[in-house]
């Protein structure tokens, strides 16, 4: 998860609606960028929504955003 030059460590993962997650993105230089959130909607192969908040110090620390992912089959996407 993240750019190709970043590794991602999962510290906590409760993959259910209302469940929490904690991840840490680690740069090539060893800098750690932790984030956490809650899974709001899980509809397998169709839809995933979750909150996201950075925990590392900086401008975005504590700012919570929402992620919304919708999945379509490649066939549906290509045929429109």
CA 80 to chain centre: 27
Q: Once rounded to an integer, what is the mean pLDDT over residues 60-64?
A: 79
How would residue 4 be classed by pLDDT, with cut points 50, 70 and 90?
confident
Whole-number mean pLDDT of the chain? 89
Q: Which of 64, 62, 48, 60 is nearest to 1 (CA)?
A: 48
Residue found by looking up tokens 């975005």 in the block: 60
Least confidently predicted of 1-5, 9-13, 68-72: 1-5
Give the predicted TM-score (pTM) of the model: 0.78
């Amino acid at each position: 998860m993240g750019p190709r030059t970043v590794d991602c460590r999962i510290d906590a993962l409760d993959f259910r609606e209302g469940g929490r997650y904690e991840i840490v993105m680690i740069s090539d230089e060893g800098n750690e960028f932790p984030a956490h959130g809650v899974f709001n909607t899980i509809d397998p192969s169709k839809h995933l929504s979750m909150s996201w908040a950075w925990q590392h110090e900086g401008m975005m620390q504590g700012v919570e955003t929402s992620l919304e992912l919708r999945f379509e089959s490649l066939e549906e996407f290509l045929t429109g």
